[in-house]
Amino acid sequence: MNNPATDYTWPACIACGRPLWESELGRQACRLCQERADRDLTALAGDEGLYRALSLTLAPGAGNGEARVSGGTRSAPLPIRLEPLSLSARGGVVTVLQTWLIDWHEQLGWHHPRWIGDLPHQLDQVVRALRINLEWAATEHPAFGEFTSELDQLVRACRRQVSGERPERRISVACFCGDTLRITVSTPGARCSGCGRQYTRADVLELPLAVRGMAA
Ligand SMILES: [Zn+2]
Ligand SMILES: [Zn+2]
C-alpha cells in the first residue's frame, strides 16, 4: 500500500499537464484548456466557420496547392478531394463531436441528444451543446484531455484544408529517461511513453532535440 503522504503530487491539468492553480483545484482541466476548447468549437461553427469553409475546398485542385494535372495521358483526377470530404461527411467532424456529446449526456444521466437538419445544422447544434456544457466537462469529465486533443486535431485538419497549409512538422526531442517524444511546435503538452513524465508545452519545447528517431 502506498503512503498517500509521501506519494502526493500537486494535481495537474489532464489536458496539458500544467500544475493547476489553487483556484483550479478540484478541476480535471485548467481554465486555459477549457478556453482553448471553446475557441476551437467556435471556430468550427456558423456561416463563417471552418466546417462550411471545407465545402469550398471539395473541388479538385482547390486548396492545398494540389494543381490539377492538365492534358496528357495521366489517369483522370478524382472527382472530389478525399480529405476535406472525409472531414465534412458523416463520420467526420460532426460525428466525432456528436459522439462526445452522447458520452457527456450519458455521464450526466441525460437522454440521448437529438440531431435535426442537415450536417452543417447538426454541426452548429452539437457545437452549441458542447459549449454550454464545457464548464462541467472541464471540471468533471475524466476524459476531457482526450476530448481536447481530438478537437484540436479536427480543427487543425480543417485549417490545413481550408488554408492549404502543409501539416505541421513533427520533431523528436529527448526525455531525460532516454526515450524520444514526437511533438509539434504547437503541442499543448506531451507525456513521455518511456517514463510517464508529463511535460507542459513550455517544458517540452526546452528539451534537447533527439539525435535518433528522426526516421520514424
Ligand atoms: Zn490545461
Ligand atoms: Zn521519459
Kindly give the distance from the C-alpha atom of residue 3 to the centroid of ligand 2, in angstroms, as a whole number.
Answer: 24
Kindly give the distance from the C-alpha atom of residue 208 to the centroid of ligand 2, in angstroms, as a whole number.
Answer: 13
Residue 72 pLDDT > 90: no
Kindly give the distance from the C-alpha atom of residue 28 to the centroid of ligand 1, in angstroms, as a whole number.
Answer: 9
Average pLDDT over residues 188-196: 89
Kindly give the distance from the C-alpha atom of residue 168 to the centroid of ligand 2, in angstroms, as a whole number.
Answer: 23
Q: What is the pLDDT of residue 88?
A: 87
Of the two residues 117 and 65, the one the predictor is more confident about is 117
Question: What does the alpha-carbon distance between residue 174 and residue 205 come to, in Å, rounded to a whole number?
Answer: 10
Model confidence, pTM = 0.70
All three cell numbers of 114: 437529438
Lowest mean pLDDT among 12-16, 130-134, 212-216: 212-216
Q: Note the ligand closest to the C-alpha atom of 32.
A: 1
Q: What is the pLDDT of residue 64?
A: 47
Q: What is the pLDDT of residue 55?
A: 79
Kindly give the distance from the C-alpha atom of residue 36 to the centroid of ligand 2, in angstroms, as a whole number.
Answer: 27
Q: What is the pLDDT of residue 80?
A: 60
Question: What does the alpha-carbon distance between residue 54 and residue 34 come to, in Å, rounded to a whole number?
Answer: 25
Residues 128, 49 contacting (CB under 8 angstroms): no
**What digits encode the pLDDT tens for the residues 92-130?**
999 999 999 999 999 999 999 999 999 999 999 999 999
Lowest mean pLDDT among 77-91, 138-152, 173-187: 77-91
Of the two residues 163 and 155, the one the predictor is more confident about is 155
Question: What does the alpha-carbon distance between residue 139 and residue 127 come to, in Å, rounded to a whole number?
Answer: 18
Question: What does the alpha-carbon distance between residue 90 and residue 24 come to, in Å, rounded to a whole number?
Answer: 37
Q: What is the pLDDT of residue 215?
A: 43
What whole-number percentage of the chain has pLDDT above 70?
81
Phi and psi (nearest 5°) for 87? -75, -35
Average pLDDT over residues 76-81: 58
CA distances from 159 to 49, 67, 108 (A): 10, 19, 32
**What digits encode the pLDDT tens for the residues 199-210?**
988 888 889 988
Tally the residues of the chain.
216
Residue 76 pLDDT > 60: no
Kindly give the distance from the C-alpha atom of residue 197 to the centroid of ligand 2, in angstroms, as a whole number.
Answer: 6
